[in-house]
Amino acid sequence: MEITKQQLKIEENYNKLDFTSIPQLKVIEMELLDAISDSRGTIREMCNHILKAGGKRIRPLLVVFSGLIFEQNLQKLIPTAVSSELIHMASLVHDDIVDVSIMRRNKPSINSVWGNNFAVLGGDYLFAKAFGILASQGLLKSMGFMVEAIESMCHGEIIQAEDKFNCECSIEKYYEKISCKTAIFLKCCCQAGASAVGASEKEVELIGEYGLNLGLAFQITDDILDLCGSSEIMGKPKSEDLKQGIISMPVIYLLKNRAHQSFIKSVIENKVFDEETILKVCSLLTKTGIMEKCYDTVKTHLEKAKRNLDALPESYHKEFLYRLADMVYTRIN
């Protein structure tokens, strides 16, 4: 019963993350539609499918608000913001191919509808669109940050693939993976926004550290929700990552617990992922205090993120970034 109550609490708090009232988001949505407006045929169908699937648009919002702290000129920031979301969309399409995922944001994945060949090309098209926007606007600094993000994501995917079902995975390797797959992209979005409006090198560094720690907290939160959240929250089947052999922070700590390491090791090595076993894993994570330890880690990263914001100029727009950090924590607490 404890797990069920926890799931309900998580879902209730997650549903509070409503960004629809943010005026800048409406501009971003319009520009995203415009970016794919010249696509045709199957490419257009795939683009519309993933765009209509929704999402919080966290990456473009990070670009926008990281820039508005230093100069209130939205038009300078929109091209980079739109490009960041197109790159994110492309990476999700490719991730679903690699992971053989059939659901994304509670909708069928691109690869499950159109097949892997079309999905690869659809993802490539979105990447091309993103860099076309940056090139046409002469945004070389922003392009550099986006290139760094894509390089890191590719590296992270390879690390993850090599470490699947590896019961010896260390917490250090886990951090390397989630930094590359998630956190560095958020860091680069923040840096791209700040640099686009002429922030100093120190300011770009500080806002980047905010993004990095926000990204780490965000990914650890996703890993917690994958195990003890629900399919409705994650937009994909429950415990999908564990079933794919992806060893997350909670599982690493359980593997180090002498009383239960043989059980969880057997689950992973023998790929025993029935509902009863998954419920037992979730129960053990709660009873051993591992989930609480993971929550504390999320909180630590968010506190680091906020400290970096403290050193930046006071701004109404900076308050959004503080609030975003708080929202990440309310997903699980």
HEC readout, the chain: CHHHHHHHHHHHHHCCCCCCCCHHHHHHHHHHHHHCCCCCHHHHHHHHHHHHCCCCCHHHHHHHHHHHCCCCCHHHHHHHHHHHHHHHHHHHHHHHHHHCCCEECCEECHHHHHCHHHHHHHHHHHHHHHHHHHHHCCCHHHHHHHHHHHHHHHHHHHHHHHCCCCCCCCHHHHHHHHHHHHHHHHHHHHHHHHHHCCCCHHHHHHHHHHHHHHHHHHHHHHHHHHHHCCHHHHCCCCCHHHHCCCCCHHHHHHHCCCCCHHHHHHHHHCCCCCHHHHHHHHHHHHHCCHHHHHHHHHHHHHHHHHHHHHCCCCCHHHHHHHHHHHHHHHCCC
pTM of the complete model beyond 0.75: yes
Residue, of 12 and 179, whose pLDDT is higher? 179
Condensed to tens digits (0 to 9), the pLDDT of residues 236-246 reads 677 889 999 99
State yes or no: pLDDT of 301 exceeds 90. Answer: yes
Band (228; pLDDT cuts 50, 70, 90): confident
Mean of the per-residue pLDDT values for the chain? 92
Q: What is the pLDDT of residue 234?
A: 58
Q: How confident is the model at residue 1 (pLDDT cuts 50, 70, 90)?
A: very low
pLDDT band at 332 (very low <50, low <70, confident <90, very high): low
Of 6-20, 236-250, 314-328, the least confident: 6-20
In tens, the pLDDT along 110-138 reads 999 999 999 999 999 999 999 999 999 99
Q: Which of 40-44, 230-234, 270-274, 286-290 has the lowest mean pLDDT?
A: 230-234
Q: In CATH, which superfamily holds the domain spanning 20-330? A: Farnesyl Diphosphate Synthase (1.10.600.10)
What residue segments make up the domains of the chain, in order of their start? 20-330
Q: What pLDDT is attached to residue 256? A: 97
Q: How confident is the model at residue 106 (pLDDT cuts 50, 70, 90)?
A: confident
